[in-house]
Every structure is written in C-alpha cells, then in structure tokens.
Structure 1
Amino acid sequence: MDQIAPSSDLMSELLLGMRLRGLQYRRIHVGSSFGFAFREKTGCAYFHFMATGKAALRTEDGVRETLAAGNAVFLPQGSAHQIVSDPTASVQDIEHYDVAPLSETLYAVTTPEPQSIFFSGCMEFDLGGLQGLVPLMPEIMKIDATSQRYLELMPILTAMEQEACSGRVGDAGILARLADVVMTVIVRGWVECGCGNSSAFVTALREPRLSRAILALHRQPGRDWSVAELAAESGLSRSVFAKRFQETIGVTPLRYAGELRMRIARTWLAYDKISIERVADRLGYTSQAAFSRAYKRIVGVSPGYSRRT
C-alpha cells in the first residue's frame, strides 16, 4: 500500500475530525423477491452489508454492483440507489415499509417469507478538515473477500455476518457499531491509497515538509498562524514554503487555514451543538461578530443557521 508520510500522526489527526452519526439503521429480513429504494441524502452516507443471500445495487446513473453474502458497500455521497433481488423485482421506498423499533435509531424490517438478511445504515458523514475530499470519493465503494486494500476488514465483516444471523439480544446495536468501524477503515484506506490520485491535497500529504505544516494547522486551528510560522514548521524559507504550498494545494496557506477553521466550526456547530460564542473563542476570534462575518463569507450561511440545521 502506498502510504502517506508521516502516516501515523497525520492520519490519526485527520480521522479524529471525522464525524459519523447514525440517523437510522435497519436490520432487514427479506424473501426471495424484494426491492428497496433509498433516496438521495445530501451530507449523509449509506452503508449496506449483505449477511446472507444475494442482491444487486443499482444507481440512477445505471451503475450496478452484485452483492453476495459477506459483501459491504459504502456510498459516501448519499446517492439515490436501489437494492433488488433481480431486475424484475417490484421496488418500494424504504421509508414506506413497516418497521419494528429496536431503539431510537434501530429498526427491524421483515418481509413475507424471510430468507435473506442484510443490514443497512444511513448516517451523517462529515470529514471535518478533510470535507473537501468527499465529492472526490467514488459513488460506490464495495468491499468483498477479494479487496486487497481492506484485508483488515475481513474479520469485522465475518463478525457482522455471524451477529446478523445469531438472533441474539442486542445484535442490531452491535451491527451498528461495527458498521461505524468499517466505514472509518474504508475512508482511511482510500486516503492512504491516494484518494484515487484525484486531489492536490493528497500530494501535499505525501510531501513531508508541507505535511508538517498541515498537521500543525489541524492540531491548532485556533492559532493566529503567520506564513513565516508555518514555513518554520516545514523547515523552509517563507518564500519557498508559500510558493510550494500554493502550487500544490491551489490556495495560499492563510486561505487554507481560514477555510479549515470554518469547516471545523461547521462540525462543532452542526454536530456537536457547541454555542457560537464558544466556537468563536476556541478558534481564536476576538468577538462573536468577527467570527460570524468570517463564517458567512466562507461557508455562505450564518453560524446560527448551521447550528439549527
């Protein structure tokens, strides 16, 4: 695997900023013929795991993936799609099925004459400082026994298969937690392998000097960084650092710092529900008004709007 350097510190810091919050998980028992439609959900991701039986996943663009027992699929952009037993199966919106609540976010769906089992999750998906990479991710990321990139997932998927078929108390809750782990590992593997070589950001992560400055920014987003201080972190002169950073990333160091600060602010506001005043203070702003102006300029909406929605 083509690793990012410095892999441990930087990867840990970036993944710490990732947020996965389950909105709805479903353990689905299906018969020989079935069809489920999942709506597009902006800002969310879908995860499906086929425990027994087989199915096909198809998107509105005509992409089709075959799912067999032990396969998992991750849709990081929350694209609309269907899971069907065969091309002729009748399809119904998943929201229209009767469910049996297992907890606040866990539900059981059972169709007549159940034979196969799959587990489905929809969750809010935010990469924090890496959020700009989400649109670059593949629409569908499939994991199966032949996936050399994700060999460490095989024992987890095996555990999911056993749990889904066990019928033990609390099995759906355990499946939800395992699904969160699987998705985190998928994101890590995709970033480690260069994000499909589709991002200038990844080029910077592979450049040891620039990656040290990026790591410093992510660790101390509230610090009032100067270009000279970031250059010192990289061990480069101010002019060389500024030129190399802009050529690689496509923006100036201070613009990157400002946009990173607002991506982190959005996560704190929308997911952690931290007060606007507290977010402004943590990010080094002298007043809430100054923070609000910067936030609206970069994000496009007010901090209050992000916190409410």
Structure 2
Amino acid sequence: MDPLSDVLSLLRPQNYFSAGTTASGAWSLGFPDQAGTIKCGAVVTGACFLAVAGGGSVYLEEGDAFLLPSGRDFRLCTDLARAPVNAVAMLKRQGHRAGKGGIAHFEGEPVPGQAVAPVSLVSSRFTLADKHGHLLLRVLPPIVHIRGGRQSDLRWAVERMMRELRDPQPGGFLIIEHLAHMILVQALRQHMQDSRSTSIGWLFALTDPQIGAAMSAMHEAPAQRWTLATLAAQAGMSRSSFAQKFKETVGSAPMDYLTRWRMLLAAERLAQNEDSVSVIALSLGYSSESAFSTAFKRIMGVSPRDYGRQPDAFSIPPPQQLLPAT
C-alpha cells in the first residue's frame, strides 16, 4: 500500500455516524466535545459559519468541505454572535441516534425583510485506534477548510451521500459508510496539496515527488535492507541532498523514520498476538531478535515481549518520537 493508506489502516478509522442536516432562517447549532474522534463534513447547498472552541472560525460556502480533528466543541451557524441550540438534543428529538443517520431539519428564526438561503450539510464522525490516533490528529490544525470547486470526486461523494440519506435504499448503510471514508481521504488529499509548501511532517512530505517516492518504497517493503544510498536512489538524488531534504520535509532522518515505522508495525502485530517476537523481527528486516528488541525498546520504551503480554498496559510514546510533525 501507499504510505497514507498504510497509516490509515493502522489507525482503523471507523465511521460510526453519518447524517445530513438542513437549516433555514437564522440559526446556530452547537455540538459538544467528542474527544478521540475526527469529524468530516461538507456543505451541499447554502453557506454558514463553522467555529471551533479555541480554534477560530471559517465561512463555509456551497461545495466546501471540512475536517475537525480535535474533538473540541464546535458550532455551525448563520451568525457567530447567536447563542447555539444543543444539536445533540435536537437530533434526539427527531429520532436520530449513533449508527442511524438520516436528515435532521432545524427551523431557525425568520429574519424580517431578509431572505436567508437554506443550508444543507452532510457529516460523518470517525473513531481512530486509541494508541495511534495522534499520528494523524497531530499533523492537522483545529479546522481543515477545503474550498469547493476543485475536487469533483469529493463533491460527487458529498452529493451522493445526501441522496442516500434523503432516500434510503437497500444496502444504503454500506454505501454511506464507504462514501464517508472516501470523503475523509479526499479531504486529506486536498489538505496535503494545499499545505505542502508551509507544513513539515510525514503527511505533507508525501506530496513531494522525490521524498514521497522514498517513503513509498519504505512502506512497500519495510523489511528490505534499506540504506541512505538505496533510499536516495529511489528519490533520484545524491545521498547528501536526499538526507537534507528528507529531514527538512519530514522532520526526521530517513533511517530514523524507517525504524519508527517498523516499530509501529511491530507494536500492532504484538498487540494482536499473531506472531512470535522472532518472526516479527525477521519480517521487518532484523537479522536477530536481540537487534530488533533493542530497537523496539529504544523507540517504544518497553521490551517487545512485555508489550506483547499486556499491550493495553503501555502507552505509545509521544508523537514526536514516532512519525514526526511540526
């Protein structure tokens, strides 16, 4: 797989709720904190403000999409000064619950002498694997604003989801679930492109043709005996130029990145108790179990055998010690 698919597979994003919302008049809907989740949504018609607690606000126009990776309180509204109505309570009154979507309707206050266009949105919530969620969440700002008009695939998925929610059909649950994942990945792709010249980290480095090629090679064959020279060859660069550019783009040295990625793969397999330490060591390119164990303890802070016995008892090290981001 490619590096983004690899990391998302490790994070196991699970779409546990997708729904549509329509609102008319002057309105403000408040959504409470849901730590550990990532919210993904888009405006199908109309326009409104999106504000995140401690994270600023943006104006969403028709076709715009957004990601909210912080799990903080947020509001959708026609006026930032308007006091919000609890959206969760509103959804419950209309019979919505986690795992069951549909379209919620909210009638705001009429605005005398002013026509306020109705707004319709679709949104999905995802949970991420507890131990690895920070690998993605840390590289994203409180609000990722994807402006519409450029991503036809994203817009198609958004409009199709609204149709599925509005007119339920057999098999609709699976279609909505797949569309939610598609919207998430498309939004991440666009954010990568928009921010690659101003951000440092593994996510944005993937858009660089040279560094992205080397990272893809590492992810495709983590067990290969990579050296600085062979990775530089993948990028079509000299060793010194490659090492400098990788550090500047990713935030860590190439071999450090490779070791950390290997240890994340090893931790996942140890947690699943599928293979022995020696088998995992060989599968990740280590000629001896002792060399692998030394590297694992240096990165993860615990021996692989201890981690494998009680994976839930140990915390994954801080993000800056794993896949870096600035």
Q: TM-score, normalised by structure 2?
A: 0.65
Question: Distance between the aligned counterparts of 2:122 and 2:157, measured in 1?
Answer: 14
Give the alignment partner of residue 19 of structure 2, picking from 27, 30, 33: 27
1:248-268 Cα offsets, whole Å, 9 max, x none, are 545333212112223444565
The AA in structure 2 aligned to 1:275 is E
TM alignment of 1:200-279, pairs within 5 A = 202=204, 206=208, 208=210, 210-234=211-235, 238=239, 241-242=242-243, 245-246=246-247, 249-266=250-267, 273=272, 275=274, 277=276, 279=280
Q: Are 1:107 and 2:108 an aligned pair?
A: no
Residue in structure 1 matched with residue 4 of structure 2 by the alignment? 15
Give a deviation string over 1:92-132, Cα, whole Å, max 9, x none. Answer: 65799479689xx7224787988986543222358xx9x75
Cα displacement (A) at 1:60: 0.8
Whether the 8 Å contact between 2:40 and 2:125 is mirrored in structure 1 is: yes
Which AA in structure 1 matches 2:29? G
Q: Distance in 1 between matches of 2:106 and 2:239?
A: 69
State the alpha-carbon separation in 2 of the partners of residues 85 and 276 from structure 1. 54
Distance 1:93 1:238, change over 3 A: same
Please, what TM-score do these two structures have when normalized by structure 1? 0.68
Residue pairs, 1:111-126, within 5 angstroms:
118-125=121-128
Q: Is the 8 A contact 1:100 1:108 kept in 2?
A: no
For structure 1, the residue ranges without an aligned partner over 5 or more in a row are 1-11
Alignment of 1:44-59 (within 5 A): 44-50=37-43, 56-59=49-52
The 1:298–1:51 alpha-carbon spacing in structure 2 relative to 1, beyond 3 Å, is: same
| 2:311 corresponds to 1:305 | yes
> Larger deviation: 297-306 or 178-187?
297-306
Q: Decide which moves more: 151-160 or 191-200.
A: 191-200
Q: Structure 1 residues 38, 177: closer, same or farther in 2, change over 3 A?
A: farther
Residue 220 of structure 1 deviates from its aligned partner by: 1.1
State the aligned residue count: 288
Matches within 5 A, 1:64-83: 64-67=57-60, 71-83=64-76
Letter in 2 for 1:16: S
User: Matches of 2:72 and 2:275 in 1, distance apart?
Assistant: 31
- Write the letter of the residue equivalent to 2:208: R
Quick one: which amino acid aligns to residue 274 of structure 2? S
CA distance in 1 between partners of 2:170 and 2:107 (Å): 19
Give the % identical residues: 24
From the superposition, tell whether residues 119 and 155 of structure 1 become closer, same or farther in structure 2 (CA, over 3 Å).
closer
Is 1:91 the counterpart of 2:86? The answer is yes
> Conserved in 2, the CA contact under 8 Å of 1:265 and 1:279?
yes
- Offset of residue 286 of structure 1: 5.3
- Deviation of 1:207 after TM superposition, in Å, equals 5.8
Q: Answer yes or no: is the 8 Å Cα contact 1:45–1:74 preserved in 2.
A: yes
- Offset at 1:198? 0.9
Q: What is the alpha-carbon distance in structure 2 between the residues aligned to residue 94 and residue 282 of structure 1?
A: 50
Alignment map for 1:155-166 (pairs within 5 Å): 155-166=156-167
Map 1:136-151 → 2, pairs under 5 A: 136-143=139-146, 147-151=148-152
Question: What residue in structure 2 maps to residue 197 of structure 1?
Answer: 198
1:21–1:123 CA contact under 8 A, matched in 2: yes
The change in CA–CA distance for 1:95 and 1:231 in structure 2 (over 3 A counts) is farther
CA distance in 1 between partners of 2:100 and 2:139 (Å)? 31
Gaps of 5+ in 2: 109-118, 316-326
Distance 1:69 1:232 in 2: 45
**One-letter amino acid matched to 1:174:** I
The verdict on how the C-alpha distance between 1:62 and 1:159 changes in structure 2, with shifts beyond 3 A counting, is same
RMSD: 4.4
Distance 1:204 1:69 in 2: 29
Structure 2 residue 175 is the aligned partner of structure 1 residue 174: yes
CA deviation string 1:135-194 (max 9, x = no partner): 3323222345xx244233222222222222224344444222212111111212222345
* 1:238-288 deviation line (CA, Å, top 9, x unaligned): 556545544654533321211222344456567xx4636364443234566
- 1:197 aligned counterpart, secondary structure: coil
Q: Distance in 2 between matches of 1:291 and 1:249?
A: 24
Mean CA deviation greater in 116-125 or 212-221: 116-125
Measure how far apart 1:215 and its partner are. 2.9
